[in-house]
Structure 1
């Protein structure tokens, strides 16, 4: 009789655990309409782009600031920034395709080129032609690519722990799982809250700031109809910056650029911020010693002070 290898035992153990979770209670999809009741508000609007009902918010008056969130997040990640900024600026933020209330893209195009064109279509629809642009993580990648394509529209660029350069380290576990056959199929039916908490603990430097309400919001957004499959499709797209043409894009950005980086970011380490600062011709890097991957969410007042200095300079 053949012995089962240790690796196979671990794999079978994972399958058994997941099957038990399914048996004890499936994590069914939540409709967009049900989520709107809880996570849309009086500032929420919906606009059709490529067949999607894109959720966005447009608040305050003044010079526009556009905020773009990262992978598996939503426009809510900018809540604290928006409360403060909307006193002096017009603040516009949206749920990107695959995430939040917007949900999946019908053509499943989650490439940077696809996201950049989505942002361009969105801004055309709301008739915005001059603005400050900020993005976190994936949103930062989209923001600097958009700026390279449409430099005449951006007055200032803000990149918060932005992706776009190789991290020279293994991908986070959530992305590995999304790329692994069988596990990614089970993810479509089982997305326990503790899994969301584990990922939040990776992106926050201070675990005590991770509240139940925060985990619940991320969890429910993940369960939005179509979002789990969209996350798998998005995770399969590798955003690698190895081509000279892509590096040339970063080097071409001449507008004033602020880089805000969490010193304790384990997903996109500070070294990436330093390298990006060296590539960009007109940039300044500010490091937040007590922040992880999402400083605008984890330490909003500290990161806002840096942002306001930059915008008012």
Structure 2
């Protein structure tokens, strides 16, 4: 298990040495979502994963702008430069927003199941408190293979949705993300970008991946079959293979 560090206002994982990979999790995400990526890359890269304050920020501030401010302050605090930003779902959305603010500090982007153009929030509804069966079904809906939603993962989400305060934050951030369509802004992002999409993603369907590819000036799109909204969790080996190919490209390394 990786060591979770606490430093100032930040909780994070920081392992390995070399070029920095900054990993951003989604709305119901946790540091554990990136286990397969962390284990693969900590040998040759510095892998940094901040725990975003999705459930701890004041509800009035809960939204994309505050979360982007958080990432900006975390990067400055850790003095991270020449970033490869890797974001899943809401984390992809935030990676794009950070890049628009600090493009000179981003070497490349890797987005998987990113929001920012279209998403079906929690399968079209907000979380219901107190119903374990409902939460289990919603978490399973994230994946192509329901068994990817382990009991540990379902328990984690159930605990989050059982808190009224956390629920209010989730709803506020989800609404903020759905309101904020980035179609006109992302045409300004010129860093090499890899899009990895599950062919069976029901939350940000494959058409969203195609739309990102069309709008981002320097993007390539790869699909993983029999895969839902979190490819790095459902098919970690295939995901890492695609990432490795991207990192090895001369145009990306330049």
- Which residue is 1:106 aligned to? 58
- Asked if 1:58 corresponds to 2:8, the answer is no
* 1:262–1:198 CA distance, 2 compared to 1 (3 A): same
* 1:86–1:238 CA distance, 2 compared to 1 (3 A): closer
Q: CA deviation at 1:306?
A: 0.2
2:223 alignment partner, SS class:
strand
Aligned residues: 249
- Kept in 2: contact 1:66–1:134 (CA 8 A): yes
Q: CA deviation at 1:162?
A: 0.6
Structure 2 gap segments, 5+ residues each: 250-254
Q: Deviation above 6 Å: which 4+ runs of structure 1?
A: none
TM-score, structure 2 length as denominator? Answer: 0.89
Alignment of 1:68-217 (within 5 A): 68-98=24-54, 103-106=55-58, 108-167=60-119, 171-173=121-123, 176-177=125-126, 187=129, 190=130, 192-217=131-156
Structure whose alpha-carbon radius of gyration is higher? 1
1:247 alignment partner, SS class:
coil
1:276 alignment partner, SS class:
helix
Alignment of 1:289-304 (within 5 A): 289-304=225-240
- Kept in 2: contact 1:165–1:240 (CA 8 A): no
* 1:166–1:209 CA distance, 2 compared to 1 (3 A): closer
Q: CA deviation at 1:221?
A: 4.8
1:91 alignment partner, SS class:
strand
Structure 1 gap segments, 5+ residues each: 1-40
1:237 alignment partner, SS class:
helix
CA distance in 2, matches of 1:262, 1:294: 7
CA distance in 2, matches of 1:107, 1:172: 19
Alignment of 1:14-29 (within 5 A): none
- Kept in 2: contact 1:65–1:132 (CA 8 A): yes
Q: CA deviation at 1:227?
A: 2.5
RMSD: 2.2
Q: CA deviation at 1:225?
A: 8.9
* 1:225–1:86 CA distance, 2 compared to 1 (3 A): farther
1:133 alignment partner, SS class:
strand
- Kept in 2: contact 1:112–1:239 (CA 8 A): no
Q: CA deviation at 1:224?
A: 7.0
